[in-house]
Chain A
Amino acid sequence: MKQIICFKLLVLTVFSFSTQLRLSAQESSTGRLSGSFQANVNFFQRDSAIGAANTPGYDRQLLGNESWLNLDYSNWGFDMGLRFDLFNNTNLFDPLGSFNGLGIGRWYIRKKVGKFQISGGHIYDQIGSGLIFRAYEARPLAIDNALYGGKVAYQINDNWQVKAFSGKQRNVFSVYNQVVSGAAIEGFIPGNAENTWSLSPGAGIVMRTYADATMNQIVAAIETYTPIDSFVPNYNTRAVTLYNTLSMGNFSWYVEGAYKTEDVFFDPFEERNNWNGSVTQGRLVSRPGNMVYTSLGYTTGGLGIILEGKRTQDFIFRIDPFVNQLRGIVNFLPPMSRVNTYRLTARYNAATQEIGETAGQASIRYSLNDELSFGVDYSQIMNLDLDDLFYREIYLETNWKPGDQWNILGGIQHQWYNQFIYEGKPGDLSTITPYADIQYNIDDTKAIRTELSAMFTGRVGSAQNRDYGDWLYGLVEFTIAPHWTFAVADMWNFKPARINANTGNKERPIHYPRADIFYATGPSRFAFSYIKQVDGIVCTGGICRYEPAFSGFRVNMQTNF
């Protein structure tokens, strides 16, 4: 009850504040107030048959919600904003748990003074592609690692700018103890008078300093180790990066190399010699890290090619060594697998391995004419010694547009997926997934789309894991522009391979139906969904986490103003 009153008071405060701002804006005629609102509500319906049970949401809370109200205001040369966050019995932070909290999740103020730009508050920013520093928000995964501090940027000339920042990383409604400081310079070098080539180089450095409390905790942990595993940790870790984009004709080549000085992190695979004589796995270590990432793009006519490569070694960069999962991440390591969108092709994802991986990816797109195009993707991720395959994906796609009414897309995907590395389940899994996406535009406002796919597991080479077994998926979506979309879908585990945890018998075929109604009006969008969803790894922008099964209703609202 107190929370509801508190929320109402805060909403009143925010709206009275916004009213004042509008009045001010009207008075000055230069102010601009904008904002956005997003709310998600989950109604949990226990279904132990699919594993949607034994969490606070299913057992007793029955309802969880989260919402964000964001306000931005610009006037008098200032940009400022705040965001109110509300979490009530939400499983967003830990899908198996529950979290409650509300308050100001973000505020910032920014001002340009001559060639300087000064920012304070919660800052989102990154250096290069984010290998050594990225402060960003990914709501579906509950990531919000804004830097709570200050930033100064200086425009040296038209082509070069330098920035420096310092602060502490956001930890829900508080901050972590550690101070993170950094600086970067970025520029643009036009190559020649004909502009046939150019360079966009940059360099950056980040330093993270352990607070005394964190260091005391690290030392206390190390002091329980046997001498052979012990070490003296550093307070400071620095990470540097150099990057450049070379643009030449139809080519674009990005390369970035990063190095991190000795850093304390938890290595789950490192042997630990215990005082009772046993040897177990997992302990704190102190090692330097390095990483190289490159991307080469070529486009001409109907042909587009992208080649990417990445090598990562001990590049865990966390705010402190005791945070886990997706918490306290200072940097961002780009994924090296295709970002899939169809339900079955996106079922298995290869999350970046911070301790070590070697990865490569190629993507080729070719348009024969306006009606017909083809695509091929290939990804391969291995360990550092190149003798253990973590992930492989081959993805073929054909898109045929015979006229204005039809759009027919189809293809096949093959994955080799090391379940131990990505999910902690022993063995390798293979999939073969043909898919089709067919859209028919009935008239200018109505369209019907269907998505069909099938997944066959454990049929390639030694990757005999079948996980849940074989799947069929079908979706029909009917759109009445500009407001309504109706969708029904079913993901059918028609040939199960699992043992039911409750009965001990082989799982019977299970349907995972879903129905959605979407309504859009102006900048607002509402969704009402009934969902039964199988558990799995869910990724957003290459960052992944395990999501348990879901059963229930979900209501979503988003609006901008």
Chain B
Amino acid sequence: MKHIFPIILIFAVILNGCKEIGPNVQFGPPSDLGDRVVVIEEFTGAQCVFCPQGTEELENLLVLYPDNLAVISVHTGFFATPIANKSKYDFRTPAGDALNTFLGTPDKGYPSSIINRKQFPGETSLHNVAATWAGYLGQEVALQPKMGLNVIPVYDPATRKLKVTVSGIARESISSPLRVTVLLTESGIVDYQKDIRFGDLPEYIHKHVLRTILSTNFEGDIIAPSGVNAGQTVNYDVETTLPLVWKAEKMEVVALITNGNSKYVYQAAKKKIE
């Protein structure tokens, strides 16, 4: 028993310890943001009861980073099956299913997001749970982009033809091959959505729904097979005709310049079609 009291004393010391110096937290909306544009690919579905909360988180982040964030909602997998006798639309697309294969199936449940197609330290895949999105986005936004990127959509309402021009310039030399991916999203689509809090929502407004990938390859088309030197420009054009059911005025084109090996997104750009 004579050992007990010193041990209890040691426990007490460990418990109290020394006062730590906490991290520096900047309260308030972010400021001094550069032109870095981060892409979040959200994996979601009409039958995913927790996904509306994920969407709310993304909308909140878009308020904070209106010019620095591009959101793509990928309806794919188990939870993206339309709600029988309720859903008007099936948001699943070959493009979404291809991304599911190319980027990996969510391994931590839905909703799940991939941020700049980067596997963050400690994560087991590219996928991240909702609680992490803000933190990872903050980290990525703070980085200086290695590429400047611009996307220009030219849309003719009469013919519904859309031409997208992507132009980029390297701010640093990159030795890896570069790919460009052009994606189309549509917002403002009213349809059923399951919600853990409210049940089936008939008037739910779906946003940033991935409609298609315009690039020839889902993983992006090679535009610089051996990388680029600082100051070197890259250009890419693609054309399509929009189906009648898509509302051009609610559509957005998102362009990504990615590392052809690691999938990492060096820079993104977004622009409304109309």
Q: Hey, which bits of chain A sit against chain B, CB under 8 A?
A: 53-56, 93-94, 96-99, 156, 160, 162, 171-172, 176-177, 183, 185, 203, 205, 207, 213-224, 227, 230-236, 238, 240, 266, 274-276, 278, 280-282, 284, 320-325, 327, 420, 424-426, 499-504, 548
Q: How far is the CB of B64 from chain A (nearest CB, A)?
A: 6
Q: How far is the CB of A236 from chain B (nearest CB, A)?
A: 6
**When the two chains form their complex, are residues B131 and A322 in contact, meaning their CB atoms are under 8 A apart?**
yes
**When the two chains form their complex, are residues B20 and A503 in contact, meaning their CB atoms are under 8 A apart?**
no
**When the two chains form their complex, are residues A324 and B129 in contact, meaning their CB atoms are under 8 A apart?**
yes
**When the two chains form their complex, are residues B108 and A94 in contact, meaning their CB atoms are under 8 A apart?**
yes
Q: Could you show 19 A-B contacts with beta carbons less than 8 Å apart? A: A54-B80, A96-B105, A177-B122, A203-B8, A205-B11, A213-B122, A215-B23, A217-B135, A220-B136, A231-B25, A233-B25, A235-B22, A240-B15, A278-B59, A280-B56, A284-B131, A325-B109, A499-B84, A501-B81
**When the two chains form their complex, are residues B130 and A282 in contact, meaning their CB atoms are under 8 A apart?**
yes
Q: How far is the CB of A51 from chain B (nearest CB, A)?
A: 8
Q: In whole angstroms, how far apart are the Cα atoms of A287 and B209 in the complex?
A: 37
**When the two chains form their complex, are residues A234 and B129 in contact, meaning their CB atoms are under 8 A apart?**
no
Known: A221-B135, A282-B53. A213 touches B121 (CB 8 A): yes
Q: How far is the CB of B28 from chain A (nearest CB, A)?
A: 7
Among A172, A205, A224, A424, contact of B49 (Cβ-Cβ < 8 Å): A424
Q: In whole angstroms, how far apart are the Cα atoms of A183 and B80 in the complex?
A: 48
- 11 additional A-B pairs beyond A93-B124, A214-B122, A216-B135, beta carbons within 8 Å, are A93-B107, A94-B106, A160-B3, A171-B122, A203-B8, A266-B131, A278-B56, A278-B59, A500-B84, A502-B81, A504-B84
Known: A203-B11, A280-B60. A99 touches B107 (CB 8 A): yes
Q: How far is the CB of B33 from chain A (nearest CB, A)?
A: 12
Q: How far is the CB of A316 from chain B (nearest CB, A)?
A: 12
Contact with A along B10-26 (1 / 0, CB 8 A): 11001101001011111
Q: In whole angstroms, how far apart are the Cα atoms of A472 and B168 in the complex?
A: 64
Contact with A along B54-86 (1 / 0, CB 8 A): 001101110110000000000001101101111
**When the two chains form their complex, are residues B122 and A176 in contact, meaning their CB atoms are under 8 A apart?**
yes
Residues of the A chain whose Cβ atoms lie less than 8 Å from the Cβ of B77: 54-55, 96
Among A176, A205, A424, contact of B50 (Cβ-Cβ < 8 Å): A424
Q: In whole angstroms, how far apart are the Cα atoms of A119 and B121 in the complex?
A: 28
Residues of the A chain whose Cβ atoms lie less than 8 Å from the Cβ of B57: 280, 282
Q: Is B47 an interface residue (CB 8 A)?
A: yes
Q: In whole angstroms, how far apart are the Cα atoms of A353 and B220 in the complex?
A: 44
Among A176, A219, A503, contact of B23 (Cβ-Cβ < 8 Å): A219
Contact with A along B117-141 (1 / 0, CB 8 A): 0001110100011111011111100
Contact with A along B34-56 (1 / 0, CB 8 A): 00000000000001011001001
Q: Hey, which bits of chain B sit against chain A, CB under 8 A?
A: 3-4, 7-8, 10-11, 14-15, 17, 20, 22-30, 47, 49-50, 53, 56-57, 59-61, 63-64, 77-78, 80-81, 83-86, 105-109, 120-122, 124, 128-132, 134-139, 196-197, 199
Q: How far is the CB of A185 from chain B (nearest CB, A)?
A: 5
Q: In whole angstroms, how far apart are the Cα atoms of A235 and B3 in the complex?
A: 31
Among B20, B59, B106, B134, contact of A235 (Cβ-Cβ < 8 Å): B20
Write the chain A residue with the least CB distance to B128. Answer: A322
Q: In whole angstroms, how far apart are the Cα atoms of A475 and B177 in the complex?
A: 60
**When the two chains form their complex, are residues B139 and A216 in contact, meaning their CB atoms are under 8 A apart?**
yes
**When the two chains form their complex, are residues A98 and B25 in contact, meaning their CB atoms are under 8 A apart?**
no
**When the two chains form their complex, are residues B134 and A220 in contact, meaning their CB atoms are under 8 A apart?**
yes
Known: A172-B124, A501-B84. A281 touches B197 (CB 8 A): yes
Q: In whole angstroms, how far apart are the Cα atoms of A223 and B10 in the complex?
A: 37
**When the two chains form their complex, are residues B60 and A230 in contact, meaning their CB atoms are under 8 A apart?**
no
**When the two chains form their complex, are residues B20 and A234 in contact, meaning their CB atoms are under 8 A apart?**
yes
Q: In whole angstroms, how far apart are the Cα atoms of A227 and B27 in the complex?
A: 6
Known: A156-B3, A223-B138, A284-B131. A240 touches B121 (CB 8 A): no
**When the two chains form their complex, are residues A274 and B29 in contact, meaning their CB atoms are under 8 A apart?**
no
Q: How far is the CB of B99 from chain A (nearest CB, A)?
A: 14
Residues of the A chain whose Cβ atoms lie less than 8 Å from the Cβ of B135: 216-221, 322
Q: How far is the CB of B236 from chain A (nearest CB, A)?
A: 31
Residues of the A chain whose Cβ atoms lie less than 8 Å from the Cβ of B24: 219
Most chain A CB within 10 A, of B56, B80, B130, is at B56
Return the 5 tightest CB-CB contacts between A and B, nearest first: A504-B85, A220-B138, A504-B84, A217-B135, A220-B135
Known: A177-B122, A224-B64. A97 touches B17 (CB 8 A): no
Write the chain A residue with the least CB distance to B86. Answer: A504
Residues of the B chain whose Cβ atoms lie less than 8 Å from the Cβ of A284: 131
**When the two chains form their complex, are residues B20 and A97 in contact, meaning their CB atoms are under 8 A apart?**
no
Write the chain B residue with the least CB distance to A216. Answer: B139
Q: How far is the CB of A223 from chain B (nearest CB, A)?
A: 5
Residues of the B chain whose Cβ atoms lie less than 8 Å from the Cβ of A324: 108-109, 129, 131
Known: A266-B131, A276-B63. A54 touches B78 (CB 8 A): yes
**When the two chains form their complex, are residues B53 and A54 in contact, meaning their CB atoms are under 8 A apart?**
no
Q: How far is the CB of A126 from chain B (nearest CB, A)?
A: 17
Residues of the A chain whose Cβ atoms lie less than 8 Å from the Cβ of B86: 504
Q: In whole angstroms, how far apart are the Cα atoms of A503 and B82 in the complex?
A: 11
Q: In whole angstroms, how far apart are the Cα atoms of A218 and B139 in the complex?
A: 11
Q: In whole angstroms, how far apart are the Cα atoms of A546 and B139 in the complex?
A: 32
Among B14, B107, B120, B139, contact of A183 (Cβ-Cβ < 8 Å): B14
Q: In whole angstroms, how far apart are the Cα atoms of A275 and B10 in the complex?
A: 46
Among B17, B50, B131, B137, contact of A238 (Cβ-Cβ < 8 Å): B17
Q: How far is the CB of A549 from chain B (nearest CB, A)?
A: 11
Residues of the B chain whose Cβ atoms lie less than 8 Å from the Cβ of A185: 4, 7
Write the chain B residue with the least CB distance to A101. Answer: B124
Q: How far is the CB of B72 from chain A (nearest CB, A)?
A: 20
**When the two chains form their complex, are residues B27 and A223 in contact, meaning their CB atoms are under 8 A apart?**
yes
Residues of the B chain whose Cβ atoms lie less than 8 Å from the Cβ of A322: 128-129, 131-132, 135
Q: In whole angstroms, how far apart are the Cα atoms of A377 and B86 in the complex?
A: 43
Q: How far is the CB of B88 from chain A (nearest CB, A)?
A: 13
Residues of the B chain whose Cβ atoms lie less than 8 Å from the Cβ of A205: 11, 14-15
**When the two chains form their complex, are residues A230 and B109 in contact, meaning their CB atoms are under 8 A apart?**
no
Residues of the B chain whose Cβ atoms lie less than 8 Å from the Cβ of A176: 122
Write the chain A residue with the least CB distance to B129. Answer: A324
Residues of the A chain whose Cβ atoms lie less than 8 Å from the Cβ of B139: 216-217, 220
Q: In whole angstroms, how far apart are the Cα atoms of A276 and B29 in the complex?
A: 11
**When the two chains form their complex, are residues B22 and A321 in contact, meaning their CB atoms are under 8 A apart?**
no
Q: How far is the CB of B235 from chain A (nearest CB, A)?
A: 34
**When the two chains form their complex, are residues A502 and B56 in contact, meaning their CB atoms are under 8 A apart?**
no
Residues of the A chain whose Cβ atoms lie less than 8 Å from the Cβ of B30: 223-224
Q: In whole angstroms, how far apart are the Cα atoms of A57 and B60 in the complex?
A: 35
**When the two chains form their complex, are residues A177 and B199 in contact, meaning their CB atoms are under 8 A apart?**
no
Q: In whole angstroms, how far apart are the Cα atoms of A55 and B80 in the complex?
A: 11
**When the two chains form their complex, are residues B27 and A236 in contact, meaning their CB atoms are under 8 A apart?**
no
Q: In whole angstroms, how far apart are the Cα atoms of A280 and B221 in the complex?
A: 39
Residues of the A chain whose Cβ atoms lie less than 8 Å from the Cβ of B64: 224, 275
Q: In whole angstroms, how far apart are the Cα atoms of A215 and B135 in the complex?
A: 10
Q: In whole angstroms, how far apart are the Cα atoms of A504 and B23 in the complex?
A: 53
Most chain B CB within 10 A, of A219, A230, A284, is at A219
Write the chain B residue with the least CB distance to A154. Answer: B3
Among B7, B20, B80, contact of A236 (Cβ-Cβ < 8 Å): B20
**When the two chains form their complex, are residues A238 and B3 in contact, meaning their CB atoms are under 8 A apart?**
no
Residues of the A chain whose Cβ atoms lie less than 8 Å from the Cβ of B60: 224, 274-276, 278, 280
**When the two chains form their complex, are residues B56 and A274 in contact, meaning their CB atoms are under 8 A apart?**
yes
Residues of the A chain whose Cβ atoms lie less than 8 Å from the Cβ of B61: 224
